[in-house]
Amino acid sequence: VATPIPNSIASIVTWLGMGVATGLLKGELPTMEVIALLMSRLLGSAIVLMSCIIKLPQIMALLRSKSAEGLSLTGFETELVAYTLTFAYGLHFKLPFTGYGEAIIMSVQDVFLLALIYKYAETPMSHVGIATALYAGGLAVLLSGQLGDEVMRVLSGASFVTIMFARLPQIYANFVAKGTGQLSIFSYLITVFGGSVRIFTSYTDNAGFTMVVGYCMSTTLNFIIALQILFYGSGKKAPAKGKTPAKKAKAKPFSPKAAAKKAPAKKDDSGDEDSSSDEEPESAVRRRRRTKRA
């Protein structure tokens, strides 16, 4: 009677692959291909776990500031489409969950982010309704299982263009504004790291040329945005508390009366004004007066 394999061991065998698990159980030294596969599985699992918090800094920044300043609505909408195409491709071809699982989690976080952007940017309800209906309908078609392999490959290839449209508007907006608004550097640094790892895992898992190229493009564009955040900062810095910029004194128009009050002219005994009294010494003034009396 065959002994049933415990669920825990069965899940590990499924995770590693039957060939790899059998070799390890026999005590065989793993080949380089097996080591690469093990690294791919471990890194893929780490990326899936890390994706649970990758958007949290951005969400917290929005909730704290209650402002969507610096965030590209078009960029986040197209990013959601790109993630959706990625996990739909993985589900269709039954790839390991570690190869596309983060795309599902990131899609959920993007939906929440878009809801906040719609609210704080006061997006018209007509736009929100149309975008929601189009996404829901497209998602239903992708997950229906009615699309063939070739169609899914074409859609996955179209994600190249989608990824470009998701990042280029944000890059351009940052360049024009010379600032990055509420963008979170922590989120983008994690995204760049995760994308770099995903290039390796997609290659080792034979996910296909389209996914490898797609991750290369998205990682490069995310790296550019991360550099913009570091270079431009998070917008214009406010002056420090207690320090106000010095105001230039305004020049007052010349007034003869005011000048007379500040420097009244001295008069001698004969009633004539002595305009040079301020410039000459007092002894010289006395000699002049004695001469006049004589």
pTM: 0.60
Long-range contacts (CB closer than 8 Å, 24 or more residues apart) made by 130-135 = 131/77, 135/80, 135/81, 135/84
* 109 CB neighbour count, 10 Å cutoff: 20
Per-10-residue mean pLDDT for the chain, 294 residues long? 42 54 62 71 77 84 86 86 88 80 88 93 93 94 87 80 79 85 81 82 71 82 89 55 44 53 50 47 64 62
- Predicted pLDDT of residue 25: 63
- Predicted pLDDT of residue 263: 52
- Predicted pLDDT of residue 195: 81
**Residue 97 and residue 276: Cα distance in Å, rounded?**
99
